[in-house]
Every structure is written in structure tokens, then in C-alpha cells.
Amino acid sequence: MKVAVVTGGSRGIGAATVTKFAKEGYTVIAVYNNGRQQAEAISAKLNDMGCDVHPMHADLSDPKQIADLFAQIGTYFKKIDVLVNNAAMSVSGLMQDIDLQTLDKIWAVNARAPYLCCANALPLLQKNTNAAVVNVSSVWGLWGASCEAAYSMTKHAVVGLTRSLAEEWNDVPVRVCCVCPSFVRTDMTAHYTEQDIALFEREYGVRAYTPEEVATDIYALAVHGENGTIKMEK
């Protein structure tokens, strides 16, 4: 049995990643916060197909809930083969318009949570000889843009975490990789018009991705990605 843990597993990239790993034969823990109905529906659908998916709740802005989550995983599943740190929140706006509460929340979910998930998962990852962590960043974790300072800051942190742990865990051994999607068609981006997307593609020289395409790249990195790989999706 191979075990994959996917945070933010109820929708978008996370739901597609849960589906990809489940169909590849993994036992998948789909971690959700607010998306209980979606996580349970996805799990039920996949389990009806013969897969093995388990929705588990955790508010990843709360360090105690992160610790409790991985304690539960250790109790019931004993190990982790793949950890996908996908959960994130998005906020756009001028720096002076982002209040401190929002800034603290996006930092806790997007940057601190992947760090703490890695720390809590490490003993379970070490029970394997080819374990992997795949962090989900963004092109804004490599670039910057007006009105994206808060979000971009957190996604740069994810890239930094990946590069640092790839060095720190080189002898563990646990491979640590990162995928940096550009525009992805999810419910988080549903408010953008086709004209907005076309403008984004022209301005930045990238194309819009589907969640399934990103999930395929996440799976490839998890299975045979070289330690420290930062994959930018253009």
C-alpha cells in the first residue's frame, strides 16, 4: 500500500490530484477545511470505482490541528509515501488595502502550513526509501506583480522551503520538489473572463492550465522527480 496525503483536497488542483493518485493505486488522504461536502463526494465517487480515498478535516492555519492530523495518519496508515502541500488561499489588492488579519491568515495557510506539514510528516515519510514531498507554489512564487504582494510573498516562501529542504533532507532521504502553475482554471479563478485569461497569456507568455494537467505534473514529480526540482508551468 502506498499512501498519499493531499492538502486542499476538496476542489481544484487538490481534487484533481486526489483523483490522479487514487487512480494510480494509492491510498489517498484528502485533507479539507471548508469543503467537507466536496471532499466526501469526491471520495465516495472514487471509492465506488474501487479506489481507496479518505477525507480528513484540518484547519491548516492552526498548528495543533496540523499536529493532530499527522498523528491520526500515523495511527491509521503508519506511513506516508507522498505529501502534496497544495492548500492555499488567494488575496489580491494594493499593499495598503490588505489588513493585518488577512495578511496573517494567508501567511499561516500558504507558507507556515506547508512548513509544519513537512515537519510533522517527516517521521512517516522516513519509513520509505523513495518518499517525496511536492509543494504547490505559483508563477507568483518566481515572479512578482502589482496587487499580488501578499500572495506572491507566501508563494516565494514555498519555493524557498522546497530548495532548503531538498538540501536538508538529501540524506534522509526524502525528495522535495515544487510545481509553479501559471493560470489554472479553478473555482478560485472563475471570476476571470476569457478576455482576462487571454490578456494574461499574452502579457506573461504562459497559457491557462486545467487542474488535471497540474495534477499530472505533481504525480510525475512525486514518482520520479529529481530532488530540488522547481517546475514552472508555462
Question: Percentage of the chain with pLDDT > 70?
Answer: 100
Task: Check residue 30 and give left, alpha or beta (phi > 0: left; psi -120 to 50: alpha).
Answer: beta
Domains of the chain are 3-232 (3.40.50.720)
Given the residues 26, 32, 115, 151, select the one marked as catalytic.
151
Cα gap 44→52, rounded to integer Å: 9
Mean pLDDT of 82-111: 96
User: Looking at the predicted structure, is the pLDDT value of residue 64 above 80?
Assistant: yes
User: Looking at the predicted structure, is the pLDDT value of residue 200 above 80?
Assistant: no
- Annotated active-site residue 219? The verdict is no
Q: How confident is the model at residue 207 (pLDDT cuts 50, 70, 90)?
A: confident
Mean pLDDT of 1-6: 98
Question: Which three three-digit cell numbers place residue 99?
Answer: 489588513
* Average pLDDT of the chain, as a whole number: 94
Report which of residues 65 and 144 the model is more confident about: 65
Q: How confident is the model at residue 193 (pLDDT cuts 50, 70, 90)?
A: confident
Mean pLDDT of 85-89: 97
Q: How confident is the model at residue 210 (pLDDT cuts 50, 70, 90)?
A: very high
Question: Percentage of the chain with pLDDT > 90?
Answer: 82
Report which of residues 112 and 233 the model is more confident about: 112
Cα gap 204→211, rounded to integer Å: 19
User: Looking at the predicted structure, is the pLDDT value of residue 36 above 90?
Assistant: yes
Report which secondary-structure segment, H or E, holds 38.
helix 36-48
Question: Which three three-digit cell numbers place residue 86?
Answer: 497544495
Q: How confident is the model at residue 96 (pLDDT cuts 50, 70, 90)?
A: very high
Q: How confident is the model at residue 81 (pLDDT cuts 50, 70, 90)?
A: very high
Q: How confident is the model at residue 94 (pLDDT cuts 50, 70, 90)?
A: very high
Sequence-distant (6+) residues with CB within 8 A of 188 are: 12, 90
Report which of residues 3 and 205 the model is more confident about: 3
pLDDT of residue 182: 87
User: Looking at the predicted structure, is the pLDDT value of residue 9 above 80?
Assistant: yes
User: Looking at the predicted structure, is the pLDDT value of residue 145 above 90?
Assistant: no
pLDDT of residue 197: 79
Residues forming beta bridges with residue 132, ordered by sequence position: 82, 175
User: Looking at the predicted structure, is the pLDDT value of residue 220 above 80?
Assistant: yes
